[in-house]
Amino acid sequence: MHIFDWKRYIITFIFTAAIVVTALLISSWINSQRVDELRNIQDSISVNLLSSDVQFNLLRDASCSDLFNSSIGQELGSLSDKLSYMESIGRGNDTDVVTLKKYYSLLEIRDYLLSNSAASKCPSRPVTILYFYKANCPDCDRQGQILTYLRQHNPDVLRVYSFDHDLDVSAVRTLANIHKIAEPFPNIVIGGKTLSGLQSIESIEKILPILTATSTATSSKIIRNQ
């Protein structure tokens, strides 16, 4: 004789739902911690940038090493990696993440402007590349890999500022207009010159020979250490 015990089915459902809801809550809490960490990094960059900006504008005596202290570059790089990760796990369109991306773009532009305005004072400042990308653009993914590789191998001499062309930020649109950013994507701007379409490592190194010199020096150092 078969008996169907509804009570056990309901109790099981409650336990199962409790586990799944707990999993969702833990995941959501960790994601909110991630967003908090991104916010902390942005606050830190913002303070560092503001500090350099104020020094440059008011005192006019800040040293080049202060203005281009590599921690800003590293922090911008770290923030960029983390925002890319958030995009890769499908949270790129979350309101918090989109807001952080916009804020990050503005910080990048601010750092870029500061770098340009110090050009005459600091001739050996890091070289800069502006990188404009779009969603659903395979070549943009490739260009991203190439620029990440170059940035990681030249942390002291290269700063890459990447901008999502689809992001609704007027400052980014203005920057894109100034540099005549257009299809086909990706676009990169080196030394005020806009290059459209995918640019290889070799072609970028040809335009910026300092990257080759640095990479070679690094490679030689590795060989010597071995």
Partner 1 sequence: MNSWRDILTLAILFVSLYYEIFLLVTYIERRKKIHGVFSVKTRTGDDLPRVTVIVPCFNEEHTVSKTLDSLLALEYPQTKLKIVVVNDGSTDNTLKVLESYRNYPHIEILNKENGGKHTALNLALQQSNTEFVGCLDADSYARPDSLARIIMKFDRPEVMAVVPSLQVFEPKTLIQKIQKVEYVIGAFMRAILAEMNALYVTPGPFSIFRREVFEIVGYYRKAHNTEDMEMAMRMQVNGMHIASAHDAVVYTSSPRGVKTLYKQRVRWTSGFLNNARDYKHMLFNLKYGNIGMFVMPFMIVSSICVLFVITSIGYDLITMVQAWYLRYSSIGLNMFEWSWPSFNWFYIQTTPLLFCGIAAMSIVLIFIILGSRISTDNKPKVLEIVPYVCLYSFIAPLWVIKSLYNVALQKKMSWR
**CA separation for the pair 181, 200 (Å, rounded):** 19
Compute the least distance from the CB of residue 184 to partner 1, in Å: 17
DSSP 189: E
- Beta-bridge partner residues of 189: 130, 194
Compute the least distance from the CB of residue 7 to partner 1, in Å: 10
Q: Considering only residues 138, 191, 192, 209, which one is a binding residue for partner 1 as defined by CB under 8 A?
A: 138
Strand 127-133 to 158-164 pairing: parallel
Nearer to partner 1, 13 or 216 (CB): 13
Compute the least distance from the CB of residue 168 to partner 1, in Å: 21
**CA separation for the pair 170, 179 (Å, rounded):** 14
Check: CB of residue 208 under 8 Å from CB of residue 154: no
Q: Considering only residues 97, 107, 109, 146, which one is a binding residue for partner 1 as defined by CB under 8 A?
A: 146
Interface pattern 50-89 for partner 1 (x via CB under 8 A): --------------------------------x--x---x
Q: Does 101 bind partner 1 (CB under 8 A)?
A: no
Compute the least distance from the CB of residue 89 to partner 1, in Å: 7
Give Cα separations from 5 to 1, 9, 12, 132 (angstroms): 13, 7, 11, 62
Check: CB of residue 80 under 8 Å from CB of residue 104: yes
Q: Does 178 bind partner 1 (CB under 8 A)?
A: no
Residue 196, number of CB atoms within 10 A of its CB: 15
Residue 168, number of CB atoms within 10 A of its CB: 9
Compute the least distance from the CB of residue 37 to partner 1, in Å: 6
DSSP 197: S
Q: Does 213 bind partner 1 (CB under 8 A)?
A: no
Compute the least distance from the CB of residue 58 to partner 1, in Å: 36
Nearer to partner 1, 37 or 156 (CB): 37
Applying the rule CB under 8 A, the residues between 18 and 57 that interact with partner 1 are 19-20, 22-24, 26-27, 30-31, 34, 37
DSSP class per residue in 20-72: HHHHHHHHHHHHHHHHHHHHHHHHHHHHHHHHHHHIIIIIS---HHHHT-HHH
Nearer to partner 1, 74 or 174 (CB): 74
Interface ranges with partner 1 (CB under 8 A): 1-5, 8-9, 11-13, 15-16, 19-20, 22-24, 26-27, 30-31, 34, 37, 82, 85, 89-91, 138, 141-143, 145-146, 149, 201
